[in-house]
Amino acid sequence: MRKPKIVVLGAGYGGLMTVTRLQKALGQDEANIVLVNKNDYHYETTWLHEASAGTLHHDRVRYDIDSVINRSKVEFIRAEVEDIKTDEKKVVLNTGEIDYDYLVFALGGESETFGIEGLKEHAFTISNVNAARQIREHIDYQFATYAMETEKKDERLTIVVGGAGFTGIEFLGEITNRVPELCREYDIDYSKVRIYCVEAAPMVLPGFDPELVKYAVAHLEKKGVEFKIGTAIKGATPEGIKVAKGEDETEEIKAGTVVWAAGVRGSSVIEKSGIENMRARVKVNPDLRAPGHDNIFVIGDSSLIINEEINRPYPPTAQIAMQQGEVCARNLVKLIKGSEDALETFTPDIKGTVCSLGDDDAIGVVFGKKVTGTKASFMKKMVDNRALYMIGGPSLVLKKGKFNVL
Ligand code: FAD
Ligand code: NAD
């Protein structure tokens, strides 16, 4: 009998959770499992702000996919996904086409630029290992050039972070630790460096606990961050950014580095595929399948789950992507084994949110309790280690874990 073929797209949190659970639950004779990813490594997206600032080497944030999959059960294809032909049950890769019986779409999200002029060309995004490496190298280059040039351009040392959401704040926590090191390395007066955070909403970390937000702002201001709140970025140029000033005017902030951290949308492959979506995210059925597509599961940042209590989408997180991966795998096993039981409904189990403020400080709400300082920072590292454990077990934690916990 022909074995059903499950194709999992993406080796991020959602995709790897699905594959590692499937390889345990299904025998070699029960299904063909294929994993497709553009790199032969997985990266911890949740650590990319550290690699971007240069406070953690980029090799620390990634590991070989081979180290967590069982190659006797899972075929790995290194390729870029370009499209899905749902009618023909085929995935279009840059290397050719593959067919599937069941598809798991877990390609994550992409930066949302809201069509703002110049951002794609002149701003960096914290989106993958190479993008992180480029930000680190660029900031280093600006400092090195400043040290060398006879006519000093002070704006080289200005760093603008667009968006004071969790990504923007976590990056600011790291870069404020890195800048003093850079100043020492290149003999630059620290007072020449400007770090701006520009946020369109009237507060930092909109919607988060106000007391914790106050703590984070005080911590970052003490380290030199200048917040421009209630100020929308309207454009980016080779010289910096344009921000809204009054009704119709804009003001320029000259900056050598602009990091755009103002939101995510789903994968552009979803939009191409014709699967119904909102900003490239699929409002999935309770069992995580795409409406009208009984053989396609969508998980992680390309899925949209509504929090019924407030009637708004859950913010896309690794926490949710991993939980979805587990449920998706169990539902696939039911389908493959021909179980008569109904498929499992996915409900996020939010254990909390911790936002780092550099290596030794953080803020968070964990199991309903507020935490700050070293305690919160310790918890953040435990959350990071847990993600490694869930996918690769204790050996991966020993290899890649964060043990500088005190
Ligand atoms: P990802 O983990 O992003 O994986 C997608 C995978 O698909 C990647 O391996 C990518 O290379 C691959 N891929 C993409 N497109 C293609 C293609 N066309 N072809 C082939 N392969 C492709 N969430 C939390 O819960 N806690 C946190 O502390 C936290 N911190 C964060 C810090 C930062 C700096 C950022 C940017 C995000 C953070 N998040 C956090 C959010 C979290 O990282 C995402 O929600 C999570 O990564 C989504 O998982 P995913 O499986 O959908 O996608
Ligand atoms: P976000 O959408 O959470 O925040 C983006 C911020 O940018 C918002 O505050 C928004 O008001 C602002 N913004 C939008 N347009 C702007 C403009 N034109 N000018 C200035 N500001 C503008 O995005 P994010 O911070 O990238 O987070 C993405 C997802 O990843 C979220 O779901 C978040 O919860 C998750 N995340 C979690 C953690 C954590 O748990 N520690 C860390 C990072 C990211």
Distance 261 CA to ligand 1 centre (A): 14
Q: Please tell me the distance from the alpha carbon of residue 241 to that of residue 234, in angstroms, as a whole number.
A: 8
Tell me which DSSP letter residue 253 carries. Answer: E
Nearest to 324 by CA among 341, 301, 355, 340: 301
Nearest-atom index, ligand 1, CA of 319: 25
CB of 304 within 6 A of ligand 2: the answer is no
Q: Please tell me the distance from the alpha carbon of residue 39 to that of residue 286, in angstroms, as a whole number.
A: 31
How many degrees, rounded to 5, is the angle at CA 84 between CA 312 and CA 96? Answer: 145
Per-residue pLDDT of the chain (406 residues; tens, 9 = 90+): 789 999 999 999 999 999 999 999 999 999 999 999 999 999 999 999 999 999 999 999 999 999 999 999 999 999 999 999 999 999 999 999 999 999 999 999 999 999 999 999 999 999 999 999 999 999 999 999 999 999 999 999 999 999 999 999 999 999 999 999 999 999 999 999 999 999 999 999 999 999 999 999 999 999 999 999 999 999 999 999 999 988 888 999 999 999 999 989 999 999 999 999 999 999 999 999 999 999 999 999 999 999 999 999 999 999 999 999 999 999 999 999 998 889 999 999 999 999 999 999 999 999 999 999 999 999 999 999 999 999 999 999 999 999 976 5
Q: Please tell me the distance from the alpha carbon of residue 44 to that of residue 383, in angstroms, as a whole number.
A: 12
Distance 331 CA to ligand 2 centre (A): 31
pTM of the full structure:
0.97
Q: Please tell me the distance from the alpha carbon of residue 331 to that of residue 121, in angstroms, as a whole number.
A: 42
Q: Please tell me the distance from the alpha carbon of residue 354 to that of residue 169, in angstroms, as a whole number.
A: 12
- 75 carries an active-site annotation: no
CB of 16 within 6 A of ligand 1: the answer is no
Give DSSP secondary structure letters for 78-117: E--EEEEETTTTEEEETTEEEE-SEEEE----EE--TT-B
Q: Do 103 and 84 contact (CB within 8 A), yes or no? A: yes
CB of 401 within 6 A of ligand 2: the answer is no
